[in-house]
Amino acid sequence: MGQLVHEIAPGESLYGIARRYGTDIRDLQVQRGEEIIDLGSENPNFDPKSLGPGDKVLVPDWSQVSSCGDGCGTA
């Protein structure tokens, strides 16, 4: 599955971005410089309210998920 890159706009929140893309906040990742912070894993050093200029949010591209699971294309 691919990922969409969402550029942070002033005043945006991770919860708002998750809602916009119809996903759970735990499915998101924050790219801050070279660092990628996975919100699905425990990261006590990351404050979800700390988004700033230059941060990007990586969102799962659910349009690329196959609906037939692992059995697609097998005979």
- Do the domain assignments include residue 58? yes
Domain tally for the chain?
Answer: 1
Instruction: Give the C-alpha distances (Å, rounded to integers) separating 56 from 26, 46, 65, 74.
Output: 15, 14, 22, 38
Instruction: Give the C-alpha distances (Å, rounded to integers) separating 17 from 4, 46, 50.
Output: 12, 17, 14
CATH code at position 10:
3.10.350
What's the CA gap between 75 and 73, in Å, rounded? 7
Question: What's the pLDDT score for residue 69?
Answer: 54
- Do the domain assignments include residue 67? no
- Do the domain assignments include residue 69? no
- Do the domain assignments include residue 19? yes
Coil vs helix vs strand at 19:
helix
Model pLDDT for residues 38-54, shown as the tens digit of each residue? 999 877 788 888 888 88
> Tens place of pLDDT for every residue, the chain, 75 residues?
688 999 998 889 999 999 999 999 999 999 999 999 999 987 778 888 888 888 999 999 866 545 555 555 554
- Do the domain assignments include residue 68? no
- Do the domain assignments include residue 51? yes
- Do the domain assignments include residue 72? no
